[in-house]
Structure 1
Amino acid sequence: MPHENHETMAALARQLRVDAVRAADAAGSGHPTSSMSAAELGAVLLARHLRYDFERPGHPGNDRLVLSKGHASPLLYAMYRAAGVIDDEQLLSFRSRGSVFEGHPTPRLPWVDVATGSLGQGLPVGVGMALAGKFLDRAPYRVWVLSGDGEMAEGSVWEAVEHAAYRGLDNLTLIVDVNRLGQRGPTRLEHDLGAYARRLKAFGWHTREIDGHDVAAVDEALTEARATTGAPTAILAATRKGRGVAEVEDRDGKHGKPLPDAAAAVAELGGRPDVTIPVAGPPATPAPSAAPARSAEPELPRYRTGDEVATRDAFGKALAALGAVREDVVALDGEVGDSTRADLFAKEHPERYFECWIAEQQLVAAAVGLAVRGYVPYAATFGAFLTRAYDFVRMAAVSRAGINLVGSHAGVAIGQDGPSQMGLEDLAMFRAVHGSTVLYPCDAHQTARLTAAMADLAGVRYLRTTRGKTPVLYGPDEDFPIGGSKVLRASADDRATVVAAGVTVPEALRAADELARGGVSVRVIDLYSVKPVDAETLAEAADRTGCLITVEDHRPEGGLGDAVAEALAAVDRPPPRLCRLAVYDMPGSASPEEQLHAAGIDAAGITAAVRTMLGRLVTA
């Protein structure tokens, strides 16, 4: 591309500042000062180093730009205007109702890969993109992450720093806008670039310390980053918040506010330049090898009815089988692959397996980054440990990312390990995610079929698996539609309905058999799809029996019981009597059988609950 001289880049930086001021002024809100500090960084990157075809955002050779400091969105939108892909009217629609130019960037814009704004996420997701580029796509694109200095305090950043260095991601460049001021005052390290550099070098990064307002220095540093091999590069740029306007420059208390006098600020910045930059396109790049179309149906594992098989085992075998027919499927694990059974995928497809170690935020972030590049990730760890990464899950939904998360060792059924290892809140947290799918299979064939079905779903998908063995209830060719359920016991004489999922399904069946021996007939529903839920089958059961007992190896808040109650509340008919069995107390260490009994969610607890409920109906 033609070399853009430094005077042109300086003029572009002034324009980016002016446009940031104008956008925030039009909105009456926003973060212009945080945008102004990074203007030279954005200008030089856009004019000299970014390789991107804005008309083809999906070009396999396009560089990826992640604005980790998402509150500086006016800078990003100003860059788009300078590239000629949006006009002034669109820029000034910033933060207005219906505008795609939101307060923090989201993929509603075709050039934005991931939503940002929750600080500390841009670099971890960038690591996932860089992993795809280096090890899967084997494409020449670079991943540029523009970060704020305040977010360098986030632990997730250092999970990413360590992982990027370990994997030698020399296609990743972190640009840190060290503008010294956070929301409520100075950042921890202020302008001590050396302190940042020492930390990053200790992890194995190549670093460069520069004056972030010197376009020549920025240009030289970005050139050096592109030439560095064997390690990721961090450019530590000393800048001043609100640069160019004396009333706000490097002054505390100006964060997140439009400038008091935008017209005066624009004048002080030198008026309104009108610079349009021809952004260099990417090199010719073949399409990645990942192909979403199946070469065949996966040969899912098959078991004999009545055998005892852990659903986590079925998950691992099904995932490996899926990987054999779909090159776009990748697996990630949080250093527990021998427990989640993700290691079965690793043995058969090692080139598409990513060990993320005990770093759950990086685990989920890498899955998001890989999904952005067109892959179908399955990320697995203990259900309890996914709570650490919940903000990444939440933001994955904002990013419209398609990721599969698998939580094993759920509930008190894990036994002696005790409550620190028990996923007891996972159904609630995943049900609360916008557009999510939440699945809790009870047997091996159900698990295998749902594992394969997840690959073609949209949004965040969660599969809950069980540590211990459970009986195989279904045949290998049984169908399990998303949003469905299975009625395992039913008759015209049913007096109550037991709704279960996962480990409580065989307990519910045992309870039904015990009750039948006493002359009490109950319906049993396997509600394997917790979200979306089969409201029609639940409503029919409520109409027929009038009493529903939900039983779950989960806290009472937000799980199976709430899913059932919400579904029935939406039906225009009198509500049934509802009893909810769940884990109400704090468990300790005990055998799985003792745990289920203590929580009142085993066959004995279900039987007692049904009898109590029916007894109340008789005396009512």
Structure 2
Amino acid sequence: MQDHLLSELGQQLRVDSVRAAAAAGSGHPTSSMSAADLMAVLLANHLHYDFEQPRHPGNDHLVFSKGHASPLLYSLFKAAGAISDEELLTFRKLGSRVEGHPTPRLPWVDVATGSLGQGLPIGVGLALARKRLDKVDSRVWVLCGDSELAEGSVWEAVEHGWYEHLDNLTAIIDVNRLGQRGPTRHAWDLGAYARRLHAFGWHTIEIDGHDVTAIDRAYGDAASTVGRPTAIIARTVKGRGVAAVENREGLHGKPLPDPEEAVAELGGVREMAVPVLGPAAAGIARPSHGGPLTLPRFDPGEEVATRDAFGQALAALGTARGDVVVLDGEVGDSTRTELFAKEHPERFFECYIAEQQLVAAAIGIQARGWTPYASTFAAFFTRAYDFVRMASISRADLNLVGSHAGVAIGEDGPSQMGLEDLAAFRAVHGSTVLYPCDANQTARLTAEMAEESGIRYLRTTRGKTPVIYPPSESFPIGGSKLVRATDDDHVTIVAAGVTLHEAIAAADRLAQEGIHARVIDLYTVKPADTQTLRAAADLTGALVTVEDHHPEGGLGDAVLEAFCDGYPMPPTARLAVRDMPTSATPAQQLAAAGIDAEAIAAAARQLVGAAN
């Protein structure tokens, strides 16, 4: 498209952004107006995309990391003929697909954005998938705001993009000088951004973000750069084109005060339709299933760490399923993902100690239809929790595996102990939370996870635990297991993982005293097996819950929620890690936390005694 038409298209995008925000009575039109020329040139001359086939294997990807500029994105979709003007003006209305920040309710949106600092890390994941997995020559374009470059996640992405030589990735940085409350850290100092990005190995281009000729040339330069990603650093003006709001503070996130006058100043409403460049013909040779799944088998009575079983099962799953991809946070020798890396190096990604990038890359990879497993220590997923939260909004399908959970890790001390993870992942919308107690259960659940949707979290244990289930046992997600049960049980003990073995030992002690204890292995912490829990409570009249986790939000709360909505709640004792742990052996840790067999037996005795 010629320069004068590109300028007109930029004005159209500004006008439609103003109109959308005015119709909603809220939004971010000035942030959209600054990047309008950048996006006009991209849409008309450089983006290869078939809007009628959003899953076309040759399509480029466009990620709006500055998701608050959604009016601009929706105006792009209108110009491309993907949405109507009527739909554009339903912006932020109940039931509308054009939400305040983009989500994949629109088929041309790969991932939800709006929490700043996420678009570029996810773009790295998309670019990795395109280059190393799909092996397709398409590009990933990420529109970033200058404010979000203060986020550490951006710099994790910048380094990873250089390390992986992602020359199919371009960051378009809209340097409009103003953030939410005033000037950004570097204002219009393009060189400050360029120096930092160049130091990380990126190809950098500094331009006037309203000069369509310079923008067009920069995109061509990015597409021809080999061996490293490109950052286009564009000086722009917030509120460009409307004198009343241009480069003015205090207008962030507000519709224009006089939208009709602004539209007139911008030259009026336009109805340009852009013939977007189509994608090249492409086919993805997705690896086929290698055959039936042959999981590792462990004999009851063996002592096996569940992390070991996870690693072996993951490698076997990778052999059976060519869509499985594994990402590691430089702890693969501990989490045992290194077993997958040895068997399937072409589908293994080392993300190093950058947990935000670890999860972000997995989000980008799953958006391309692959099945990622991302693993690190349970405690370290807290660094990436916002990415997990946003992944649920993206309707992402992720398998996350946290090892070294709870006080049972022993001498390493509290900095390494995941004691909040069950609560954190239970709080994620639509999530599945699994906590296996033995090797055969772990292997089965590792495979079951791949068949689920949404965010799936599996908690593994560092130390060895006894194998109590035969290899043939099944463990449907959403279920539980009755490990000890008689018709004369006086109390129910609910546990999972490490504490399940302590619960069995406690039940054996109590049996010697004539107290029959029912033991439930609640290996699915979410969704919990409400039916089994209620039935046990009705029969025994008393519950003990025990978990290697803080009391807030974990297994105990999952059990209590089974008795909501007026269902009678039996007397309950909740055992959990309530004090701050220190360094000690695993056995000492369990005893000090009051979650070992002796503590469980004591709680059960007290409940049974009170009932009598």
TM-score, scaled relative to structure 1: 0.98
Residue in 2 that maps onto 1:344: 339
Of 545, 568, 571, the match for 1:574:
568
Question: CA–CA distance in 2 between the matches of 1:492 and 1:186?
Answer: 71
Deviations 1:362-406 (A, max 9, x none): 000000000001100000000000000000000000000101000
Of 543, 546, 552, the match for 1:548:
543
How far residue 295 of structure 1 moved from its aligned partner, in angstroms, is: 3.9
Quick check: 2:405–2:460 contact (8 Å CA) kept in 1? yes
- Provide the secondary structure at the position in 1 that maps to 2:562: helix
Question: CA–CA distance in 2 between the matches of 1:287 and 1:507?
Answer: 49
For 1:25-174, list aligned pairs within 5 A. 25-174=22-171
Quick check: 1:290–1:374 contact (8 Å CA) kept in 2? no
Deviations 1:236-282 (A, max 9, x none): 00000000001100000010000000000000001112211100110
Letter in 2 for 1:187: T
Question: CA–CA distance in 2 between the matches of 1:34 and 1:289?
Answer: 39
Question: CA–CA distance in 2 between the matches of 1:527 and 1:573?
Answer: 19
Quick check: 2:47–2:277 contact (8 Å CA) kept in 1? yes
Quick check: 1:123–1:157 contact (8 Å CA) kept in 2? yes
Letter in 1 for 2:449: M
Letter in 1 for 2:483: L
Question: CA–CA distance in 1 between the matches of 2:571 and 2:378?
Answer: 31
Match status 1:474 vs 2:473 = no
How far residue 429 of structure 1 moved from its aligned partner, in angstroms, is: 0.4
Quick check: 1:290–1:375 contact (8 Å CA) kept in 2? no
How far residue 296 of structure 1 moved from its aligned partner, in angstroms, is: 2.5
Quick check: 2:494–2:519 contact (8 Å CA) kept in 1? yes
> What are the ranges of 5 or more consecutive residues in structure 1 without an aligned counterpart?
none
Of 14, 21, 25, the match for 1:24:
21
Question: CA–CA distance in 2 between the matches of 1:73 and 1:288?
Answer: 34
Quick check: 2:6–2:212 contact (8 Å CA) kept in 1? yes
- Provide the secondary structure at the position in 1 that maps to 2:333: helix
Match status 1:322 vs 2:317 = yes
Quick check: 1:60–1:288 contact (8 Å CA) kept in 2? no
Quick check: 2:290–2:322 contact (8 Å CA) kept in 1? no
For 1:412-451, list aligned pairs within 5 A. 412-451=407-446
Deviations 1:41-71 (A, max 9, x none): 1100000000000011001110000000000
Match status 1:227 vs 2:221 = no
- Provide the secondary structure at the position in 2 that maps to 1:452: helix
For 1:139-538, list aligned pairs within 5 A. 139-291=136-288, 294-538=289-533
Residue in 2 that maps onto 1:10: 7
Quick check: 1:124–1:157 contact (8 Å CA) kept in 2? yes
How far residue 290 of structure 1 moved from its aligned partner, in angstroms, is: 4.0
Question: CA–CA distance in 1 between the matches of 2:412 and 2:82?
Answer: 56
Question: CA–CA distance in 2 between the matches of 1:481 and 1:417?
Answer: 34
Question: CA–CA distance in 2 between the matches of 1:527 and 1:18?
Answer: 56
Match status 1:609 vs 2:606 = no
TM-score, scaled relative to structure 2: 0.99
Question: CA–CA distance in 2 between the matches of 1:480 and 1:166?
Answer: 40
Quick check: 1:587–1:595 contact (8 Å CA) kept in 2? yes
- Provide the secondary structure at the position in 2 that maps to 1:568: coil
Count of equivalent residues: 612
Question: CA–CA distance in 2 between the matches of 1:573 and 1:505?
Answer: 26
Question: CA–CA distance in 1 between the matches of 2:114 and 2:138?
Answer: 24
- Provide the secondary structure at the position in 2 that maps to 1:569: coil
Deviations 1:81-106 (A, max 9, x none): 11111111000000000001000000
How far residue 536 of structure 1 moved from its aligned partner, in angstroms, is: 0.2
Question: CA–CA distance in 2 between the matches of 1:289 and 1:536?
Answer: 41
Quick check: 2:135–2:284 contact (8 Å CA) kept in 1? no
Q: Determine what percentage of the aligned residue pairs are the same residue.
A: 70
Letter in 2 for 1:617: A
Question: CA–CA distance in 2 between the matches of 1:573 and 1:369?
Answer: 42
- Provide the secondary structure at the position in 2 that maps to 1:236: strand
Quick check: 1:550–1:561 contact (8 Å CA) kept in 2? yes
Letter in 1 for 2:224: A
Deviations 1:400-433 (A, max 9, x none): 0101000000000000000000000000000000
